[in-house]
Chains A and B, each alone.
Chain A
Amino acid sequence: MKPIRLTVNGKPVSAVVEPRQHLGDFLREHLLLTATHLGCEQGVCGACTVLVDGVPVRSCIVYAVACDGADVRTLEGLEEDEVVTQLRAAMSRHHGLQCGFCTPGMMMTARDIVTRLPDADEKRVREELSGNLCRCTGYVGIVDAIRDVQEQRKSRRGAP
């Protein structure tokens, strides 16, 4: 067992963890932050995507013990986030989810796309989204939701 200190959703957290526990299990089981879903647990599906030091990573292939000192953010920590709020409405409007299992990971990646690549075209959005699998929607609604939020923010940016 190893002691770690990190920041989760802006709050300092100390814990003692077994080295083999991955970050996704740590968030769900230690901290009861269950927005992060675990799908494949082998780094393929992207459902467990969280932000570590500001960038999206797969929490099933990052050990909690390796996050000592890191700044971790889950979907719970972005509840008031402006982009996530816009994405939530757009995902609903464009039918970007059906069963919802992939949705938390999709939201994390979608937020990264909208904030980092405000002008990305559909092809680029799809490339950036390629690390998140959805078996319900066929992705069209998810891509449309992201494009919608990009447009909303662009028209506001352009407004006087």
Chain B
Amino acid sequence: MKPPPFQYHRPQSVADALRCLADHENARVLAGGQSLMPMLNLRIAYPDHLVDLGSIADLAYIREDGDEIAIGAMTAQRTIEFSGLVARRLPLMAEAILSVGHRQTRNRGTIGGSLCHLDPSAELALMATVYGATIVIAGPGGDRRLAMHEFAAGYMSPAIETGEIVTEVRFEPWAPGHGWGFTEIARRRGDFAIVAAAALVELEGDGRIRRAALALGGVAPVPLRVAAAEEALAGRIADDALLARATAACADVEPLEDAHVAPWYRRRLAPRLAQRVLADACRRARETRA
């Protein structure tokens, strides 16, 4: 189908974009458009105004900023995919980005757009969750920052107010030599994940787990951190029995029901995939120590 008519605005700066949003009722921000445009074509969304951030060049960057990696909201997923800095400092993200949509959509889609769309099975939202990313939001009153768990307020509902724009996503890399794991089950490569899982692990010199992070996508209205599993692993030597025990809690999720996948299937996948990514993360961490 064709989208409903709208007025198109192409501001040249964040300040112009904020003014444009303030001046127009029922306006939506257009980033890469790889989710919003299908929604318009399917007539699920009816904005009267689209504010395209595509001309704001200074929202597209990946840079080290203190202890963090700062990624501009309009950075294309393709840029993340081919970034040496991301591969070096955020190897989990470098792997997960390959499952974001397809070649053609990664060329156009952005990290900020994906986070604001906040699909429950989106890999970039899962990355922001497992890394505990900070989201920088510009508004009429200035900038504010939200932790990802505050930003992901509900099903496809980021905690941004009308008139605000996400400008940056900040990731704190884990220590050199940390391990990571990512996997997802989808009906075909690039399709929405039925369940996606991601893990980060740092080991002590004696092989015990210093800290672990585990997150699941597709099993709840927003990506989930599984704190119970993370706590059960801290200070322990990871073996199959421990990972199985620690990830058992992942079956307690209350998945959304959709036309294709029954909740029991997601409940069954969640602990299996969690165990798999934690095992991968521990293996990688051990390999780099050896």
Q: Is the CB of B41 within 8 A of A61?
A: yes
Q: Is the CB of B103 within 8 A of A131?
A: yes
The stretch among A6-14, A52-60, A90-98 that forms the contact with chain B is: A52-60
Q: Is the CB of A18 within 8 A of B107?
A: no
Cβ–Cβ < 8 Å partners of B84 in chain A: none
Q: Is the CB of B6 within 8 A of A20?
A: yes
Q: Is the CB of A61 within 8 A of B34?
A: yes
Cβ–Cβ < 8 Å partners of B7 in chain A: 19
Cβ–Cβ < 8 Å partners of A43 in chain B: 34, 37-38, 41, 105
In the complex, which residue of chain B has the Cβ closest to the Cβ of A109? Answer: B103
- Number of A residues with CB within 8 Å of any CB on chain B: 31
Q: Is the CB of A42 within 8 A of B6?
A: no
Cβ–Cβ < 8 Å partners of B3 in chain A: 20
The stretch among A62-70, A79-87, A141-149 that forms the contact with chain B is: A62-70
In the complex, which residue of chain A has the Cβ closest to the Cβ of B9? Answer: A19
The complex places the Cα of A25 from the Cα of B40 at a distance, in Å, of 15
Cβ–Cβ < 8 Å partners of A41 in chain B: 1-2, 41
B7, B34, B38, B78 — most chain A CB neighbours (10 Å): B38
Cβ–Cβ < 8 Å partners of A42 in chain B: 1, 38, 41-42
Cβ–Cβ < 8 Å partners of B108 in chain A: 52, 57-58, 61-62
Q: Is the CB of A66 within 8 A of B52?
A: yes
The complex places the Cα of A131 from the Cα of B78 at a distance, in Å, of 14
- Give chain A nearest CB distance to B38 CB in angstroms: 4
Q: Is the CB of B102 within 8 A of A130?
A: yes
Cβ–Cβ < 8 Å partners of A62 in chain B: 33, 37, 108
Q: B88 an interface residue at 8 Å Cβ cutoff?
A: no
Q: Provide the B98-111 mask, 1 if CB < 8 A to any CB of A, else 0.
A: 10011111011000
Q: B91 an interface residue at 8 Å Cβ cutoff?
A: no
Cβ–Cβ < 8 Å partners of B188 in chain A: 130
Known: A57-B108, A61-B37, A61-B41. A19 touches B103 (CB 8 A): no
Cβ–Cβ < 8 Å partners of A128 in chain B: 103
Which secondary structure characterizes the binding site on chain A?
A: mixed
The complex places the Cα of A56 from the Cα of B34 at a distance, in Å, of 13
Q: Which of B1, B10, B104 contacts A56 (CB 8 A)?
A: B104
- Give chain A nearest CB distance to B235 CB in angstroms: 39
Q: Which of B5, B52, B103, B107 contacts A20 (CB 8 A)?
A: B5
The complex places the Cα of A109 from the Cα of B106 at a distance, in Å, of 13
Cβ–Cβ < 8 Å partners of A130 in chain B: 102-103, 188-190
B4, B104, B190 — most chain A CB neighbours (10 Å): B104
Q: A157 an interface residue at 8 Å Cβ cutoff?
A: no
**Which residues from 236 to 275 on chain B have a C-beta closer than 8 Å to any C-beta of chain A?**
none
Q: B115 an interface residue at 8 Å Cβ cutoff?
A: no
Q: Provide the A105-139 mask, 1 if CB < 8 A to any CB of B, else 0.
A: 00001001000000000000011101100000000
Q: B8 an interface residue at 8 Å Cβ cutoff?
A: yes
Q: A36 an interface residue at 8 Å Cβ cutoff?
A: no
Q: A49 an interface residue at 8 Å Cβ cutoff?
A: yes
A44, A66, A68, A130 — most chain B CB neighbours (10 Å): A66
Known: A55-B78, A130-B188. A22 touches B37 (CB 8 A): yes
Other 5 A-B pairs with CB < 8 A, given A19-B8, A57-B108, A58-B105: A43-B37, A43-B41, A56-B103, A57-B104, A130-B189
Closest 10 pairs between A and B when the two form their complex, measured CB to CB: A131-B102, A19-B8, A61-B37, A55-B107, A42-B38, A130-B189, A43-B38, A130-B190, A20-B3, A131-B104
Where the two chains meet, the residues of A that have a C-beta atom closer than 8 Å to any C-beta of B are 2, 18-20, 22, 25, 41-44, 46, 49, 52, 55-58, 60-63, 65-66, 68, 109, 112, 126-128, 130-131
Where the two chains meet, the residues of B that have a C-beta atom closer than 8 Å to any C-beta of A are 1-8, 10, 30, 33-34, 37-38, 40-42, 50, 52, 54, 78, 98, 101-105, 107-108, 188-190
Enumerate 25 A-B pairs (CB-CB under 8 Å) in ascending A order.
A19-B5, A19-B7, A22-B37, A41-B1, A43-B105, A44-B38, A49-B104, A55-B107, A56-B103, A57-B104, A57-B108, A58-B104, A58-B105, A60-B37, A61-B34, A61-B38, A61-B41, A61-B105, A63-B37, A63-B52, A65-B8, A112-B103, A130-B102, A130-B188, A130-B189
